[in-house]
Amino acid sequence: MEQALYHILKDSASNHWWYRGRLEILKQFAGDFLSSDGNRRLLSIGCGIGSELLMLKNYGEVFGVDPIEEVVSHHGNNGGNNRVLLGSAEKIPFPDEWFDAVFAMDVIEHTADDKIAVHEAFRALKSGGMGFFSVPAHQWLWNESDVRAHHFRRYSRKQFIELLLQTGFMTMNVTYFNTFLFLPIVLVKLASKIWEPRQLVGAEVKTPNVFLNAVFFWIFSLERFFLRYIAFPFGISIFVIVRKK
């Protein structure tokens, strides 16, 4: 991610409808697949400034990895107890089979070699451990926002599942998400391939006005109630839960 976008994200991640909505969906899945007895180690890969870490503390002892030194310093300066380390999805600085669950939310698409990244998550997990992954869907939606975010690719459902299965994971749950807002997002992304107004540059991490932000969050987060029972057949992103055999 470009440094300018990182600083925008740092200021808005706790409020932006996309990050808040995704966290609500992750919270739903974590609650369904993990008990809250707290007797486990959890790893957030690409943990960012910490909203995900705070939520995951309900399920165990939480650790983080992030490639941005400012992120690691942020956690160290806020009583992180060295549980957030400098590293990447392709080089996780923790021992083999150390975690009961790993989380990589919109991280794998940032790696030059996604096979190495998924294998690292597999390596760090205990046998029987759970992996929670989300990635952007549909390469045909690729536009300049992917370039600015330093994405290497977007995925099809089949492509991402095959990557996980080849590593040795067993799939537990697979679904698209960000489905309710699919049409307007697709229209904006396709239009931006032809013409992108200056005001849209960086809009993917800027918090919109209060009214739109509240509406988008309500629509997006509503998906969590449906995803508990059904898998969506299309969406802007893909969510996969796996288990290490």
* 82 phi and psi angles, rounded to 5 deg: 60, 25
DSSP-derived secondary structure letter, 32: H
* 173 phi and psi angles, rounded to 5 deg: -155, 135
| SS3 assignment, position 109 | helix
Q: Where are the domains of the chain?
A: 3-244
Between the alpha carbon of residue 195 and those of residues 60, 84, 142, 144, 213, the distances in Å are 46, 40, 14, 10, 24
8 A C-beta contact, residue 223 and residue 179: yes
C-alpha 208, offset from chain centre:
20
**What is the predicted pLDDT for the residue at 37?**
72
| Tokens at 205, concatenated | 């991490």
* 131 phi and psi angles, rounded to 5 deg: -120, 135
| SS3 assignment, position 142 | coil
8 A C-beta contact, residue 60 and residue 39: yes
pLDDT truncated to tens, each residue of the chain (245 aa)? 445 445 555 556 678 899 999 999 999 999 999 977 778 999 999 988 778 998 999 999 999 999 988 888 878 776 555 689 999 999 999 999 999 999 999 999 999 999 999 999 999 999 999 999 999 999 999 998 898 889 999 999 999 999 999 999 999 999 999 999 999 999 988 888 887 665 555 556 677 889 999 999 999 999 999 999 999 999 999 999 999 98
DSSP-derived secondary structure letter, 90: T
Task: Give the separation between CA 200 and CA 193, rounded to whole angstroms.
Answer: 12
CATH class of 3-244: alpha beta
**What is the predicted pLDDT for the residue at 110?**
96
**What is the predicted pLDDT for the residue at 2?**
46
Task: Give the separation between CA 36 and CA 81, rounded to whole angstroms.
Answer: 22
